[in-house]
Amino acid sequence: MSLAQFHEALEREPICALRGKRALVTGGAGFIGSHIAEGLLRCGVEVVILDDLSSGHLKNVPSGAKFEQGSVLDEACLARAIEGCDLVFHEAAMVSVPQSVEQPERCLMINVLGTQRVLEAARQAGAKRVMLAASAAAYGDEPSLPSAESDTTAPCSPYAMSKIAGEQLLGVWSKTHGLETLSLRYFNIFGPRQDPRSAYAAVISAFASKLSAGERPIVFGDGKQTRDFTHISNVVLANLLAAASPGTWAGEVLNIGTGHAVSLLELAGQMGKILGQELEPIHESARAGDVEHSRADIGEARRLLGYEPLVGLAEGLGDTLAWFGSED
């Protein structure tokens, strides 16, 4: 498993067949969207990014991509951005669970109505395929692990509920309009460019930022919660495989993770070792809407996409911490 294998995979079938296509990446100034855009550009795909910069940054937009600033809720702006696109990667969203608990209506506007507008714009523009950034949050605290797509969903937050609604909208647009759609349920993605500054920062970027500064990382709750931490290159790979796959998609939902999980305490320990900063975490009270345990069953993504995670936790953490080091 390695980053080199990931780069090689972009040059090979089926992904190299994407060359010459045009794609819209919503949320492409954010963490995941900017990496998908970069992967697409590497494959010779023309990329348009639509982002309102609410949590993303202009500096994340890869050179070579066309940038349109605006919201997915703005139909005129969407229509401009999507013109001539074959593929849509819909990554724009209110991404934070705690923020969705504080602002549920805003969350539903952006994540549900926003997704409907993207689907409708894709249909009107004659795009072929839409991929949605769905979330493992859909499983909530469902006790059987690893989580499989056939498991009952049990959303614990407006965010999780909005992501399930998004998946269902994709299924409906496939049934009613024949638009090809596929939802990828991401499991705790991490990597370079993940923003540690937000009050809602994901745990690896928050730990990396603290440890790099020689400060103790903050853990919400007892730190025994477990997560399937997945390096960003695996998510890019899954998206490009989904876009390039020769079959047809009609609202399928696939888990994208690694199939392995570690606790937050183990994670802080591993990161501290890499940095030579083994600092005891500070514990703060658990956050509303957070789940205890999460791990993906990736059997369906293997079967339908030929997806295999190529970068594991140790290499992924090394890559991420090196990026944090270079940002100082």
For the chain, give the longest Cα–Cα distance: 56
C-beta of 71 vs 320, nearer to ligand NAD: 71
Restricted to residues 175-234, the positions that interact with ligand NAD (CB under 6 A) are 186, 188-189, 195, 202
| 68 near ligand NAD, rule: CB under 6 A | no
- Tokens matching residue 119: 């689907």
| 54 near ligand NAD, rule: CB under 6 A | yes
CB 78 within 8 A of CB 121: yes
Paired with 181 in beta bridges are 130, 250
CB 204 within 8 A of CB 187: no
Which of 53, 145, 262, 279 forms a contact with ligand NAD (CB under 6 A)? Answer: 53
C-beta of 44 vs 295, nearer to ligand NAD: 295
| 251 near ligand NAD, rule: CB under 6 A | no
Residues 6 or more apart whose CB falls under 8 angstroms from that of 296 comprise 136, 146, 147, 185, 187, 228, 230, 255, 256, 257, 258, 259
| 27 near ligand NAD, rule: CB under 6 A | yes
| 52 near ligand NAD, rule: CB under 6 A | yes
* Catalytic residue of the set 159, 186, 200, 307: 159
CB 131 within 8 A of CB 239: yes
| 55 near ligand NAD, rule: CB under 6 A | yes
C-beta of 192 vs 281, nearer to ligand NAD: 192
Which of 10, 92, 118, 204 forms a contact with ligand NAD (CB under 6 A)? Answer: 92
Closest of 177, 178, 201, 179 to residue 190, by C-alpha: 201
Instruction: Write out the H or E segment, with its range, that includes residue 73.
Output: none
Instruction: Write out the H or E segment, with its range, that includes residue 233.
Output: helix 232-244
In the 8-state DSSP scheme, what is residue 59?
G
Concerning whether 307 is annotated as a catalytic residue, the answer is no
Catalytic (active-site) positions: 159
Residues in contact with ligand NAD by the rule CB under 6 A: 26-27, 29-33, 50-56, 71-73, 91-93, 95, 110, 114, 133, 135, 186, 188-189, 195, 202
